Structure 1
Amino acid sequence: MAAQVRIRTGALERIGNAQGLRSRYARAKHLGVAQSTVGRVLDGEQLPGNSLIAATLSKLHVSFEDVFEVDGTDNGAAA
């Protein structure tokens, strides 16, 4: 199974709220991504893409582990 980056449930909301970004619209605007993208990722309908991950880390000043997790690692097995 290929590794996938997933958002930690509730993490973006919690961090956004703490930084005054109380709506999905406000979070999306601050991150420079589409509101629909934020919604789909938070609703579990879509995995976060590189642009959302990079914007989250740089614009919210958080570490990767604060918001994201790697799921389905192959434990180093050769492909």
Structure 2
Amino acid sequence: AFTQYQYPNDIGPGMYDIHSPRVPEQEEMEVLLGHALSVLDPSQLWVNPDCGLKTRSWEEVEPALRAMVGAARNLRKGIVRSS
């Protein structure tokens, strides 16, 4: 749908389910971001968890956010290199 209708807006797909105690790996998030970048321009993409973090403890939140930030940094490096 994003390519067929040339989606014009920015979007922030949730990178992980904050209602689950499972902490996703950075590599998982890189794959998800890669899928998003295959149909969106990098300038349209905002990286964020799926919603507020109040249902999780800091022991769950911190590693998940570190993984998310690491994934975003790695993909940004790839975008800069390919430009």
Do they fold alike, i.e. is TM over 0.5?
no
Determine which structure has the larger strand proportion and give its number.
Answer: 1
Larger relative contact order, structure 1 or 2 (CA cutoff 8 Å, min sep 6):
1
Q: TM-score, normalised by structure 2?
A: 0.25
